[in-house]
Chains A and B, each alone.
Chain A
Amino acid sequence: MSRIRAHYLTGLVLAAVSSAQQKDLTSLSLEDFLNVEVTSVDKSPQKLSRTPAAVYVITQEDIRRSGANNLPEVLRLAPGVSVSSISGSAWAVSIRGFGNIYSNKLLVLVDGRTVYSALLSGTLWGEEMVMLEDIERIEVIRGPGATMWGANAVSGVINIITKNTKDTHGGLAAVSGGTYHPIKGRIRYGGSMGQTGGWRTWLQYTRQGQAYMPEAGRALEPWPTIRGGARLDRDLGDRDSVVVEGEVEHYSPESPLISPHPQPGQPLVNILKAGTSSGFLMGRWRHVTRRGDESTIQASFDDEAMDVLIFKARVRTLDLDWNRKYGLSSGHTLAFGAGARANVISTSGTPEFRFDPANRTYGILSGFIQDEWQLSPDKLTLTFGAKLERYTLAGAALQPTARLMWTPTPKAGLWASVSRAVRTPAHTDYAARISVSAAGMPFALEISGNEALRPEVLKAFEAGTRFQLGRAWAFDIAAFRHRYTELDAYRVTPPSAADFAAIAMGRFVTLPAIAVNGIDGWNQGVEAEAIFQARRWWQLSGSYSYMHENRSLRPGLSPANSFVLPTYSPGHQGQIRSSWNLGRFWNADTTVYRIGQLTGGALPDYTRLDCRLARRLGESAEFSINGQNLLRPQQREFAGNLMYPAGYVRRSIEAGVRWTF
């Protein structure tokens, strides 16, 4: 649900760790003091270690120091998140498995507004080139969050929260460019409206580099995006506040497309220009009652028009949410709410990729209730609740959860949870009609969606611990077992005797394949993170995650009569990051990533090195040099899919300057 609950608004326990450092904040003037940045954004430190879920928070400082060019690159910072650049304008971002160009079990929200595509079942990252300087923090939740956020919050949730306008007074201008990304320019200006409100407006233009496509023998052109928007925050009296925000954007990358029916002598991969325009408007009203309970109403409208090589589509989404938090004196905090959403989809396709029906409206109605019960004050908390949702075609689904948090001391906690979540079929799953063949093969596959598809179901069992050792070390470890039933597969009608006869006579045969709930399986693994404050000026952090996937076909399906659209995630991945504050003006950050081979050995393991060096110029400017993919001139990070091949991402070295005024 949209209004993010306080207990999810957490920094990690790790925030407390760097308390080992000492800095002389007392020698500053008040004005300078108030300009010092807080490296962790925890709202109340007691709550940090008390989130009964695998949560990681990426702060604005992390984002700036990472040198990331865009949102998917920022997400590399979070442990257990797999980020692969497919072409430079498309990414596979996944948590706990199912990585693909549209990772359909990961829910992404920006300021409480879901950006999960109801057409394609996943996030179109090219559209989410949020201005990075405006992000306050990103909460990355590994594992299901369906009781709060509803369908598709299955294997993970990414919650992007942008700054309140009171934190963006004045101007910001930044520009960077280099060997791979020709230019990124952004400008923002904000101010206040009396004592009670603020505004900001922004404009961003980027041309980011794209991958080398071996099949085409060249690199894709850098892709342009432009976006601009405005936000207004206003307090209405002491207990009410409103936010209104809107943004429009357009991007048009050159994209690779594997020819649906490749012919000998013709190129296997065609490069075409895709284009997407979208915009949204959202409003939120928050009321705090006299006793401190909170209620929120949020409404948003999104409109998106895409021309994606082989089909055109327009998706309009209207979303309405109401949430209420209610504290009871007996140690219970109730949260409940209701929501409604409509996705109006219209498409026009080609013989190779179309939708039947071409147009449809999907509706979702939902209600949830959750109780946070303090079994023993500040020591033991049980959070339990459920969301009931009703979807067009899929019917109703219940998504309950129970989470137990035990914090014997402020520096250590243990948690365990069990939850159920569903991934509902999108318009593609219900209605796509795709025709593909392979060069030299005497038959084509006619793949079709299926309106009888049921939601994919997850039952998740998780447990974790967070603790500090001494003043310099902090750890966060989680283990999970995700049991999936009724995952999507395709059932193929095998060639009949007549088909074989036709093939023998040199004729071309068409085999139908239909989407079915054909697979059960589980993903299980562990994720561990450690932070070490080596010196006052030097922080080291590292993480490692391991995942094992297991799949089995349901009765009636066999390898001879079925196939699965593959997803790819690494079994092992790890990273080590070093952050230095060198003297008064310099920062240096180095990150080494080690990514194990992808599912089924689809791509071998590789190492990636990113470095950034920044120098502050006075109080208001910063100059930086940033290098990514430094170990190799180019690196493939993904294995491609049915129609979209993966290219080689090139090394990037760029320089940038940022100025606030």
Chain B
Amino acid sequence: MRTTFLVTVCGLALLPCSEAQIRSATADQMRAGFLYQLAQYADWPPDSFSSGKTPLRFCVLGQDDLVEILESTVRGKTIQGRPIVIARAKDMTQVAECHLAFLGLNRPKQLQETFARWSYPPVLLVGEAEEFARSGGMVNLSLSGGKVTFEVNLAAAERARLEFRSQLLRFARIAGGERRGAR
């Protein structure tokens, strides 16, 4: 009994194994995956692209570790027929040049100051801080509890002329603005 068991459970170490499918992922992988998923369910105003092939610009501010993972996550992928380019943003002026930006800001005061000065160009601002959506960001993700959950500030999205599809909103917690008729 004992030997059989040991062979079954532990002996597997010696066998070559097939690659794991996705059942769990690290936090940064989830962040990167979330940005990709999110962009599929968001619509930008037409004037934010010069042509139908203009790439979607994803930017990361203040969280350098994420850049590499994001690059490998979206490599070769397209969203709504557009290729994706990843850039590191140094400040909010550079963020204004992007379509989607992950802001690694977490101090409430920092957030408030940032959004107070923000003129809401069509940039989908994503963060991960308790007060992010309520302070004026658009999507706040949370990885606590082992799963991705997110809240959406619809009023902020509307100011930036961004729209979210209902497939996305049905998983979201609404942190500001009103849910309107689904598309």
Contacts and interface: CB of A to CB of B under 8 A. Distances in A.
B146 A37 contact: yes
A524 interface: no
Contacts of A583: 17-21
B29 to A, nearest CB: 6
Contacts of B149: 34, 166
Given A26-B74, A30-B37, A627-B9, A167 B22 contact: no
Interface string B121-135: 000000011110010
A344 interface: no
A611 B129 CA distance: 38
Given A578-B13, A582-B17, A583-B17, A16 B65 contact: yes
B17 to A, nearest CB: 5
A167 B28 contact: no
A45 B65 contact: yes
Given A30-B168, A291-B109, A41 B9 contact: no
A535 to B, nearest CB: 8
A218 to B, nearest CB: 22
A80 B64 CA distance: 32
B86 to A, nearest CB: 13
B104 interface: yes
Contacts of A240: none
Contacts of B131: 288, 292
- A interface secondary structure, majority: mixed
Nearest to A19: B28
Interface string A9-28: 00100011111011111101
A590 interface: yes
A580 interface: yes
Interface string B62-85: 011100110011100100000000
B173 to A, nearest CB: 7
Given A43-B144, A163-B145, A166-B149, A28 B77 contact: no
Interface string B148-182: 11000000000000000001100101110000000
B60 interface: no
B118 to A, nearest CB: 17
Contacts of A616: 23
B20 A136 contact: no
Nearest to A327: B109
Contacts of B12: 580, 582, 588, 613
A45 B28 contact: yes
Contacts of A21: 25-26, 29
Give the interface residue-count category, chain A: 35 or more
A538 B32 CA distance: 22
B65 A630 contact: no
A136 B146 contact: yes
B26 A292 contact: no
A328 B80 CA distance: 45
Interface in B14-68: 17-30, 32-34, 36-37, 40-41, 63-65, 68
A30 B42 CA distance: 13
Nearest to A378: B62
Nearest to B167: A30
Interface in A215-249: 238
Nearest to A239: B134
A38 B24 contact: yes
A491 B55 CA distance: 81
Contacts of B148: 33-34, 36, 38
A37 B108 contact: no
B114 interface: no
Nearest to B38: A30
A612 interface: yes
Contacts of A15: 26-27
Contact of A26 (B13, B37, B130): B37
Given A30-B41, A630-B5, A25 B18 contact: no
Interface of B: 1-2, 5-6, 8-10, 12-13, 17-30, 32-34, 36-37, 40-41, 63-65, 68-69, 72-74, 77, 104, 106-109, 111-112, 128-131, 134, 143-149, 167-168, 171, 173-175
Interface of A: 11, 15-19, 21-26, 28, 30-31, 33-46, 59-61, 136, 163-164, 166-167, 195, 238, 288, 291-293, 327, 329, 410, 536-538, 578, 580-584, 588, 590, 609, 611-613, 616, 625, 627, 630, 651, 653
17 contacts: A16-B27, A23-B25, A25-B29, A28-B37, A30-B37, A30-B168, A33-B37, A36-B22, A37-B146, A39-B25, A43-B143, A46-B104, A292-B130, A537-B17, A582-B20, A630-B5, A651-B2
